[in-house]
A and B are shown apart, each in its own frame.
Chain A
């Protein structure tokens, strides 16, 4: 891939990325969240068609201009996404040949389908009956079925996006061994993973991406220690992107003790015995990789929006409080600003006014009857407080830019007059100017003695904004840093150490 540039509504997600994968190798790609790994792979696999990006893709000596996934699959490039794309109700055999059906002249050749899928399953080391519904298999086995499906398409270049993210160590190892075996048989493979030890173990080359750029490509002969890769992954300078603030920290406002939450569907803990506290006038960050359980922690505290069998205690200003429903949490002056404004934050098709007042209609109604004039007046007040750029409060939210939508979301929760704000990815996908405004607003809030708990995948943001920082991994708090103590390297190291420790504990 040569000089690939991909823009999303004007913002470059990839700029001049070069990636050179040799035939028959396993090539690891590493980088922080948002570094552009998945975008790059979507370009390569034709998810973003030719013309949607700039640059060239050269595969086996010829330039490729894919118009879609089907097109790239014909060339033998198959991508397996992080979220499995299987139909759980259909059988293993049907899934393997979905979109690639074995046909007779009149319809589907079921005998061949199941015979061939049996052979493919054997190749990935599964002895499952291909008639079984995919949903009955474990996640690890489903992942292997995905690979069998790829082989069924005569794959020559297999792209795996975080294949082990939801697997346990045993299944992960099995999968990695399988990849090594396929490599011997001549298959080329691109592996994207956060788990550096895995990448290091099986890759011939490792390419590091950061901020949509290729930083370097390391080969086996180079120093590929985790420390070395981490430095390369995070090594950007923190410039003056964050407004200054004199911290004035008071008493503890919110404290959560021994918080444990189970996954809503699977029998595992999403949050495991977490105890954290938050003081007045303090910005506290939670850092961690995707899937570390940060949002799950926040959502389970705020009205039990996530998980089941939640146990633990919550205190506000030293008194035990009940936050088990969203109205109770709002009454206790807690607000949770969701990470995904489009699916769980805002009603895009509705106007700013309706969005702003929704979480606290009592403020603009009397005996359940809305005071329309008061609503307009207050909505306008909060629109100005957050400096939302629009004609007025009757503009639909979908007509606003991402940054202004995010400000409406913040306005919505400011409208509930909270003392404790949980901000989940408050600056995701918005431009630098709007980011700065939101940082300033956070500083203003803590200046008024409010507490802010900030979850972010952008480490520089956490380092620039937070007085204190928790690091979370696999549902647990694995480290805590004061302002000034934390560096990106130390955070990454604490995450990776905790994984190794976890592994050690399980193996013993």
Chain B
């Protein structure tokens, strides 16, 4: 029973918070499943939250929110700063892509490159004003929000451009294996990919553990690791099984995995990522430690522009159209995802994993309420309340940290 001691150690607060969100998400999904089964309205296409088609929907509906949430997280980490312009940015870049591809039949890959460059460009412009001219992010991006939406309308002339060529759709909203494959092959291929992923996961987990043990670093209890591993493998297999029942693996999952992997590394393992957390925690102390915080701020907002472009490309493939109303209110979903996922409204706290969970949470809420036939206005109200509760929890923990009222007013001693 040598593991008993290690497992009895109290769980760390941050870990607890991370798992709280995950548990909340699972809880929400189960509630939605029960509700859809019990009161699901047959006039809707699906009346089962965990139906294979709905899981596919859930992924493609939320892929761009996840991408935007990851970018927003970096902005929030710098000190609770947000970017209000991302929805309008999606509209403008969609308009550019639509004009190039649909109107002028431009090369798809050239268009992708141009869109990414435009994204970086608008991001850098806002970032310059925020980081170096010191205009508050709220104001700068509010201006951007109006500006980009306006330009989007002007480019489109108020019309929706569609359809996009199949070749483009395949890149961002296709399925693997393609529609040519029989149902049997689809399940086989999907499960093969799932199995490969599980093997990879097990291998990485075991190698990391082995390396840590050989160097004498502390590791989590073997039983805890085993439980975690079994759960994660079960989830992977279940999701892929459901996907195999429908159209196969959505290609957008690859884009998502790439974005999550890169930014997870950036925030958790890279030096500049560490600086982001540091400046959000205490900007002055970070400057005193020799970090160029203006550069960090510039990067965070430029990067947001880049991810807006990526989200736009995914978004037009999903709707197969570039519309003036594209990206409406996306900024709020992205911001909400980060806060629900445990990011601090004061900066310096938050994880990519949390933001992704937050985005899925909002997505599941949207999707579930739609299936249940909840009125769109009620959906908004519910989302608003969820966000308020999430931020309330954060502020609550901040108050404890600041030592109550005195901490807030900053009373000094002598």
Q: Which residues of A contact B (CB under 8 A)?
A: 8, 13, 33-34, 36-39, 47, 303, 305, 325-327, 329-330, 336, 338, 343-350, 354, 358-359, 361, 365, 368-370, 372-373, 376-377, 394, 398, 412, 429
Asked if B284 and A347 sit within 8 Å, CB to CB, the answer is: no
B274 within 8 A of A: yes
Lowest 9 A-B CB distances belong to which pairs? A326-B290, A347-B281, A359-B289, A327-B290, A347-B282, A344-B284, A361-B271, A368-B271, A358-B289
A350 touches B278 (CB 8 A): yes
> CA–CA, A47 to B414, complex, Å?
12
Of all chain A residues, the one with the shortest Cβ separation from B284 is A344
B2: CB under 8 A from chain A? no
CA distance A429 to B413 in the complex (A): 9
Report chain A residues within 8 Å CB of B285: 338, 343-347, 358
In the complex, A354→B411 CA distance in Å? 27
Query: Do A348 and B290 have beta carbons less than 8 Å apart?
Result: no
> Does the CB pair A344–B278 fall under 8 Å?
no
CB distance B290 to A330 under 8 Å?
yes
Interface size class of B (residues with CB under 8 A): 20 to 34
Interface contact A369-B270, CB-CB below 8 Å:
yes
Bound complex: CA A206 to CA B225 (Å) = 71
Given contacts A327-B290, A349-B401, A376-B217, contact A370 B278 (CB under 8 A): no
Q: Whole-angstrom distance between the alpha carbons of A329 and B290 in the complex?
A: 9
* Residues in B whose Cβ lies below 8 Å from that of A347: 278, 281-282, 285-286, 348
> Would you call B414 and A305 a contact (CB within 8 A)?
no
Are A34 and B414 closer than 8 Å at their CB atoms? yes
CA distance A316 to B278 in the complex (A): 30
Taking a contact as CB atoms under 8 Å apart, the answer to whether A358 and B286 are in contact is: yes
In the docked arrangement, what's the CA distance between A303 and B401, Å?
31
Give the Cβ gap from A45 to chain B, nearest Cβ, in Å. Answer: 13
Q: List the B residue with the shortest CB-CB distance to A329.
A: B290
Q: Interface residues, chain B, CB within 8 Å of chain A? A: 12, 212, 215, 217, 265, 269-272, 274-275, 277-278, 281-282, 284-291, 348-349, 401, 411, 413-414
A359 near B282: Cβ-Cβ < 8 Å: no
The answer to whether residues A344 and B288 also contact, given A358-B278, A368-B270 and a CB cut-off of 8 A, is yes
List chain B residues, Cβ under 8 A from A349. 281-282, 348-349, 401
B411 touches A326 (CB 8 A): no
* 11 examples of A-B residue contacts, CB within 8 angstroms: A8-B413, A37-B414, A305-B287, A326-B291, A327-B290, A343-B285, A344-B285, A349-B349, A358-B278, A358-B285, A370-B274
Q: A8-B413, A347-B278, A350-B348 are in contact. Are A373 and B288 (CB under 8 A)?
A: no
Give Cα A349–Cα B217 distance, bound, in whole angstroms.
25
Q: Taking A37-B414, A347-B278, A376-B217 as given, write out 16 further A-B residue pairs in contact, using a Cβ cutoff of 8 Å, ordered by the A residue number.
A: A8-B413, A13-B413, A34-B414, A38-B414, A305-B287, A336-B288, A338-B288, A344-B288, A345-B288, A347-B282, A349-B282, A350-B277, A358-B278, A368-B270, A394-B12, A429-B413
Chain B, residue nearest A340 (CB): B284
- Within the assembled complex, what's the spacing in Å between the Cα atoms of A372 and B215? 12
Contact present for B287 and A326 (CB under 8 Å): yes
With A and B bound together, what is the CA distance between A359 and B287 in angstroms? 10
| A265 shortest CB reach to chain B, Å | 16
Residue numbers in A under 8 Å from B212 (CB-CB): 373
- Tell me which of B12, B288, B401, B413 contacts A326 (CB under 8 A): B288
| Chain A residues, Cβ within 8 Å of B281 | 347-350
Q: Which residues of chain B come closer than 8 Å to A330, judged between CB atoms?
A: 290
- Assess the A326–B414 pair: CB atoms within 8 A: no
Chain B residues in 8 Å Cβ range of A338: 285, 288
Contact B269 A369 (CB under 8 A): yes
A38 to B413 CA separation, bound complex (whole angstroms): 8
Which residue on B lies nearest to A413, using beta carbons?
A: B289
CB pair A373–B348 under 8 Å, yes or no, is no
Q: Which of chain A's residues have a CB closer than 8 A to the CB of B414?
A: 13, 33-34, 36-39
Contacts of A377 in B (CB 8 A): 217
B353 to chain A, nearest CB (A): 16
Q: Which residue of B lies closest to A370 (CB)?
A: B269
- Asked if residues B288 and A365 are in contact (CB atoms below 8 Å), the reply is no
Q: Which residue of B lies closest to A8 (CB)?
A: B413
In the bound complex, what is the Cα–Cα distance between A355 and B298 (angstroms)?
A: 23
Q: List residues of chain A with CB within 8 A of the CB of B286.
A: 347, 358
